[in-house]
Amino acid sequence: MSKLLTIDIEEVKRQNIDIIKNLQDEAQIDANAFLKKYFVSDFSPVPVIKTTKESLNIDGIYKDYLNSLKASGKASKTIDKYGSEIKRYLAYLKDKKIDLYSVLKKDIDEYLSFQCKIRKLGTNSFSKVIIIIKSFYKYLYKNELIAKDINKDLEAPRVPEAIVEVLSSNDIAKIEHYLNSRKENYFAENTRDYLIMYLGIYCGLRKAEMVNLNWEEINTQECIIKILNSKGGKNRMLKFNDKVKNLLIEYRKKTGNYKGAVIRGNFGKRITSCSLQNAVRNIYKGSGVLRKNLTIHSLRHTFATKHVEANTNTHTLKNLLGHSDLNTTDAYIHRLTEYVENNILM
């Protein structure tokens, strides 16, 4: 017992998990009462972590964390991204011989600094790394695998709000004229690119939703598209107009594809995210509408702006855009309204 009394109080606080566990396991005493009596009168009780030998397995915790992300409805790509980031973090701790359960904020700060240096992370990427680590520590604390909620000590840098840019009616007319006259590099290229633009402008599809869209999810008779397992694991149904309907029928007849991927590359396989993005940028450039903040997501901004101008109610727009939170739609509407007020559109 005399050996324990020589421990510095700050060291006791810093390593409270191991000390209390040892006190309870070896001396079978009330550890909190002991610390309060012999160290400080205002000692606040330290929560005892409910762990077993099985729960201390890092691989097991990692798998359980990924399962918790799946259960929360996160998309598979998001889970993969979170998983790879946490795997990198756990490998760093192992290499530095740092115990996950007694890690300090300075340890995390050193890891983040190291990652910034070797990966050359920008503000946005750096912020995402912190958000992922915070998510992991939130899971650990919630499941009583760590004693301190270190998550609240981590703060992601403020990321500048993305600049909204949309296509005007004049821009759309220029793009249509360009696609009508452009020489094709392969059969049905212009029809495909028309479809890409219209799925964004008139249906509000995200880039990933275009990539993942299959013919089985399109009903040209009822003019309905089913968006399955999109961002946040959400499903939604969208109505499309005659412009989109006629284009879908034309593209399907030209390609002869009635199953599987709708948007395909020049080799007939499902288009990749990068190729889709490049295709849209080339359309902007070729039609003469390209400007700094005009991206593939601007197609979706254009779709939303049309509804803002038409005074579509927030709940309806939330469903059309596939947002999980009404606050996201409110913020979206606010930014688009500001844009409309400062620009001549449509």
- List the 218-219 sheet strands across, edge first: 218-219, 224-227, 236-239
pLDDT above 90 for 282: yes
pLDDT above 80 for 10: no
CA 58 to CA 89: how far, in whole Å?
12
Which domains are assigned to the chain? 2-38 (no CATH), 58-153 (1.10.150.130), 169-342 (1.10.443.10)
pTM higher than the cut 0.75: no
Mean pLDDT to the nearest integer, 89-94: 91
Token pair listed for 159: 């990321």
Closest listed residue to residue 203, CA positions, set 283, 306, 309, 323: 306
Q: What percent of the chain has pLDDT over 90?
A: 40
Is 33 in contact with 45 (CB distance < 8 Å)?
no
**DSSP secondary structure letter of residue 259:** S
- For the stretch 179-230, pLDDT in tens is 999 999 999 999 999 999 999 999 999 999 999 999 999 999 999 999 987 8
Provide the pLDDT for residue 19: 53
C-alpha pair distances (Å), 311 with each of 205, 308, 342: 20, 5, 17
CA 346 to CA 343: how far, in whole Å?
10
Closest listed residue to residue 21, CA positions, set 3, 40, 53, 48: 48
Mean pLDDT to the nearest integer, 309-328: 83
Return contacts of 267-270, CB within 8 angstroms, 24+ apart.
270/211
DSSP three-state, residue 218: strand
CA 201 to CA 205: how far, in whole Å?
8
Is 258 in contact with 215 (CB distance < 8 Å)?
yes
- For the stretch 144-181, pLDDT in tens is 888 778 777 777 666 555 667 889 999 999 999 999 99
Residue 139, class by beta-carbon neighbours within 10 Å (0-12 exposed, 13-18 middle, 19+ buried)?
A: buried
Nearest-5° Cα angle at 124, 119 to 128: 80
